[in-house]
Structures are given as C-alpha cells and as structure tokens.
Amino acid sequence: EPEVTQTPSHQVTQMGQEVILRCVPISNHLYFYWYRQILGQKVEFLVSFYNNEISEKSEIFDDQFSVERPDGSNFTLKIRSTKLEDSAMYFCASSPTGEGPYGYTFGSGTRLTVV
Amino acid sequence: KNEVEQSPQNLTAQEGEFITINCSYSVGISALHWLQQHPGGGIVSLFMLSSGKKKHGRLIATINIQEKHSSLHITASHPRDSAVYICALNTDKLIFGTGTRLQVFP
C-alpha cells in the first residue's frame, strides 16, 4: 500500500537554528499538507500546497515557516529560526484531491524538539 | 469556538466490551474522518464518511449529516485497540477534534 514517508523521525535542534522536515507524498496525489501536534494538544493545520504553491495557511504558519516541492517528489517544511514553542510532532499528509470524499494519507511524523 | 467536539475525552473498557465514541460538529463538511493515533504518535486513517455507515472488521462508523453527528463503534474490544481516536472534519483542510483516549484492559 502506498505510503507517505517522513524524515527524520526525530530531530533535536537548538533554538534559533533552521530545520528542514522532509516528506515524500504518494506519487499520484496532488494536494499536500503539513499539520503539527504540540504534546498533549490536538492536531492543527499549518499549510496546504497545490500546483506548486500554497493554497491555504493557518495563523501559525508565519514568516518563520516555508514549504516547497523542490524536485517534484519531496515536499519540505522549513522553519527558519526555531523557537522553543515549535517543539511538536509534525505530520505530512497527501490527498488525491483537496476536498470531497477522498482520503488523506498521513506520514508517521517527525518529532521536533527545540532546546 | 470548537467546530468539532468529541466525547468522551477518556474511556476505559474491559476486553470484549462494545465501545462508542461520539463526534459532533457545527460546520458544513464534505466528509468526516475517523483516525487512530497510537502512543508513538503516528496517525492512521480508519474511515472517511460522507453518509451512512461503514464497517471494517470490528470497527463501525456512522454519520448523520442532518444532525451533524458521527459515531465510531468498536465491537469486542481488545487491548490492542488502546489508542487515541480522533474525529476530523474534511473541509479544504482537516479540522481535528481533541481525541478520545481509549484504554482497553485484559
């Protein structure tokens, strides 16, 4: 069964450092998403990406964050200057279409710890 | 304002019991997802529903669009069902509930 692959599974970084979280979505999916889950809290939407551009972003997704699909397969989330409050589990997901009764497939997540 | 509410927040059961987890929502949706999150954190999609009922093994999910309500049922629960079960609304993005933590004891 096709999978969404995320790397690394764990990342520890110092405050102020840049991190790049990587995702390989399912190859024939067209919509890509990043979500995050702070420990003990619910999963929150960060950003959706379609046709090589951001289609929607949440208030959380400020100028510190950026996404790109550099080579047509990888989908990356960059956090420019990490803060302690960026510590969370980050999930990538992909979907064949943006809406309607079609499924999402989630990656297994990257646990980011900012120290 | 919570667009999606789950109940209960925590649920403890003995192996073999029938489990029901409820989800109510207040916005228009194209579909609703039931997801399972294990202690390691990974999220698995169990069901996506836009109407009626779906069954997969011991899991049954129902949705009533008019009443804006969905339920997830687990028949003959087992300790390996212990996880957090999350209801998520399908709009142009997913809107997640806070989850129901289920523990099934032998």
For B46, phi then psi, to 5°, come to -95, -50
The amino acid occupying position A112 is L
d(CA B3, CA B28): 10
- Residue A115's pLDDT band (cuts 50, 70, 90): very high
pLDDT, one tens digit per residue, over B34-88 is: 999 988 778 888 999 989 999 999 999 999 999 999 999 999 999 999 999 999 9
Question: Which of A55, A104, A108 is facing B42, going by the closest CB pair?
Answer: A108
Query: What's the whole-number mean pLDDT along residues A35-59?
Result: 93
Worst-scoring range by mean pLDDT, A62-76, B8-22, B68-82? A62-76
Asked if B43 and A103 come within 8 Å (Cβ–Cβ), the reply is: no
Which chain A residues are closer than 8 Å to B90 by Cβ? 99-101
Give the E-state strand segments of B1-106 in sequence order.
Answer: 4-7, 10-14, 19-25, 31-37, 43-49, 52-56, 59-64, 69-74, 83-90, 94-96, 100-105
pLDDT for position B1: 63
Query: What's the whole-number mean pLDDT along residues A85-105?
Result: 80
Worst-scoring range by mean pLDDT, A58-67, A98-107, B40-49? A98-107
